[in-house]
Copies of this chain bind each other. A is one copy, B any other.
Amino acid sequence: MFHKILATAAVCVLAAALAISISLRRPRVAMAASTAVPAYAKNGDLLPIANYREWTYLSSGFDPSSSPKDGQAQEHATFDNVFVNPAAYRSFLETGAWPDKTVIVLERREARNKGSICQNGHFQGKTVAGFEVQLKDEARFPGKWAFFTFDSPDSNGTLMPQGASCVSCHAAHGAVDSTYVQFDPTLLPVARKKGTLSEAFLKEESAAAAKK
């Protein structure tokens, strides 16, 4: 399932820090109850993230895939929209790295190709075809990062096992700390400037440049 997450730059959110990100002058406790993330159910599921559509947008992919295949748009094409909690985004702009409690949301939304005045190309429809979260919670997860998959944005998220392909692929190919910053156009230059790109990514990039 996480094969397609690559269209996203990996990111995250600070639980209590969301309040801080919104206003330094607002008492930190003000938003803690309703917006603290990540928050878990007793069984370890991740609780829904109510306001992710108001988080910071990172990027979108159109039918991205790590598998070579027919390059034509699929019948059920999707957009991968990626959001991150604003506090983590601002932290990344300053440091080129993700703080603890970073939460990155991947919303896979149906692509439609005709409607209203749109005669060609694709726009986004109402159906959310997939919903996944990558988050950093250092005290909770041995590998710091964890991945959750959701039936819908309103459902609880199920923890993916540490041996899942998404986990190993992110760890091996993520440009910054297990996250796909290489697909986020505003963060990649920050990571390059701050020197936080992974060695593995820099090697892949050099190898790709040498082929050209």
Contacts and interface: CB of A to CB of B under 8 A. Distances in A.
Interface string A199-210: 001001100100
Interface string A94-130: 0000000000000001010101111111111110000
A48 interface: no
A71 interface: yes
B57 A81 contact: yes
Given A56-B53, A56-B54, A169-B117, A122 B68 contact: no
Interface in A137-178: 169, 173, 175
A122 to B, nearest CB: 4
A169 to B, nearest CB: 7
Contacts of A72: 72
Interface in A30-78: 30, 53-54, 56-57, 59-69, 71-73
A14 interface: no
A204 B169 CA distance: 46
B64 A121 contact: yes
Interface in A3-25: 6-7, 22-23, 25
Oligomer copy total: 2
Contacts of A183: 115-116, 118, 123-124
A158 B75 CA distance: 40
Contact of A119 (B66, B117, B126): B66
Given A25-B26, A67-B119, A120-B67, A79 B57 contact: no
Interface of A: 6-7, 22-23, 25-27, 30, 53-54, 56-57, 59-69, 71-73, 79, 81, 83, 86, 89, 109, 111, 113, 115-126, 169, 173, 175, 180, 182-186, 188-189, 201, 204-205, 208
Given A6-B116, A7-B118, 17 more contacts: A53-B56, A59-B124, A61-B123, A62-B62, A62-B121, A64-B121, A64-B123, A67-B119, A73-B73, A115-B208, A116-B173, A116-B180, A116-B182, A116-B208, A117-B169, A117-B173, A124-B183
26 contacts: A6-B116, A7-B123, A22-B23, A23-B23, A25-B30, A59-B123, A60-B60, A61-B121, A62-B79, A63-B121, A64-B120, A64-B123, A65-B120, A67-B119, A68-B119, A69-B119, A69-B120, A73-B73, A116-B173, A116-B175, A116-B180, A116-B183, A116-B201, A117-B169, A126-B185, A126-B188
